[in-house]
A and B are shown apart, each in its own frame.
Chain A
Amino acid sequence: MHELSVTQSVVDAIVERMGDAEVAAVCLEIGKLSGVVPDSVRFCFEVVCAGTTLEGARLDILEPGGQARCRDCDGEFALPDLIPLCPCGSANVEITAGRQLRIRSVEVA
């Protein structure tokens, strides 16, 4: 389950950035096209946080939807899945949002 590695990376990165500060809440951004399942991350979070400065921390997850820009018609459109297809029929599109996997912020206790 790659969500376990992802969650471990989240906790490691936060511990590295925040040092000894006790973390009360974490806000993540998991784009709908990122390939990471938020519920699986929630499932892993508590386990991975145990025994760290994040123990018991609340987890908030934002799930921005997919967005793309067409290189042919220059249109911007919502992309519900990873099939890069513009309403104009072109597949020459650039995914501009929805693939992000980011730690937005943490709340210190």
Chain B
Amino acid sequence: MCATCGCSDDAGVRITEPGHGHGHGITVSLEQDVLAKNDRLAERNRDWLRRHEVVAVNVMSSPGAGKTTLLERTARESGLPVAVVEGDQETLLDAERIKATGVPVVQINTGAGCHLDATMLERALGTLGPAPGTVLFVENVGNLVCPALFDLGEDRRAVVLSVTEGQDKPLKYPHMFAAADLVLLNKVDLLPYLDFDPEVFLRDVRRINPAADVLRVSATRGTGLQDWYGWLRTSIASGERR
């Protein structure tokens, strides 16, 4: 069951053997991808972003990994034209922090939903109307499982992991790390106080995803943020889309 979302009720589990003599109706072959609709909408978003010359970065992490602090600082210091779509289950707190930096922001409250999907981003784009040249950060709901499955139409995927979460996360959440273009190891200023080996972490990220970039940063101290801004500039300049 989904450890992140806390669904741990086994009461509904049924063991079913496929194809064993129940009904005698007509079988209709559908052969359809379950997420086809989301993927279609994601393509539409991608097209919209391309036409409006906006580069979108989907930022994903567990709760408390420091996404909002990173984005606040990026909005203030990177010198890039930034806008933010803030995904949160209930509160407006993160959006208000971003708003205080003066950059355009819209909030998506997902309620019980534990991830953003392409429809939500489509609506957010309509409300926000980011100007050409904008770097649009989509701060996904804090969760290392569910957001990995839903394409939003973004150009880049960044995963933020704080060193306080432990070095075993890449192997525990392989889908998330496999989907990343960039892994930001955050709060590295705390490394001296923790049992976290960045080399082991890096090795495991590489095992899952040999192509991902990995940067060590501290969003509160500012360590490594120039590398992050550099990565963003390269992403914009390359014009390459997913």
Contact = CB atoms under 8 A, between A and B. Distances in A.
By secondary structure, the A interface counts as: mixed
B239 interface: no
A60 B19 CA distance: 7
Interface stretch (B67-75, B145-153, B224-232): B145-153
Interface in A55-104: 58-62, 81-85, 91-92, 100-104
B29 A105 contact: yes
B12 A24 contact: no
Contacts of A107: 23, 25-28
Given A9-B35, A61-B18, 7 more contacts: A5-B150, A35-B149, A36-B149, A82-B178, A83-B171, A106-B27, A109-B23
B7 interface: yes
B9 A9 contact: no
B32 A103 contact: yes
B37 interface: yes
Contacts of A9: 34-35, 37-38
Interface of B: 1-2, 5, 7, 9-14, 16, 18-19, 22-23, 25-38, 113-115, 117, 145-146, 148-150, 171, 174-175, 178, 206-208, 210
B13 A39 contact: yes
Nearest to B22: A58
A67 to B, nearest CB: 16
A82 B28 contact: no
B37 A12 contact: yes
Contacts of A49: none
A39 B22 contact: no
B34 A37 contact: no
B117 A102 contact: no
Interface in A6-61: 6, 9-10, 12-14, 17-18, 24-25, 27-28, 35-37, 39-40, 42-44, 46, 58-61
Given A40-B7, A43-B12, A85 B33 contact: no
Given A81-B174, A91-B207, A109-B25, A43 B31 contact: no
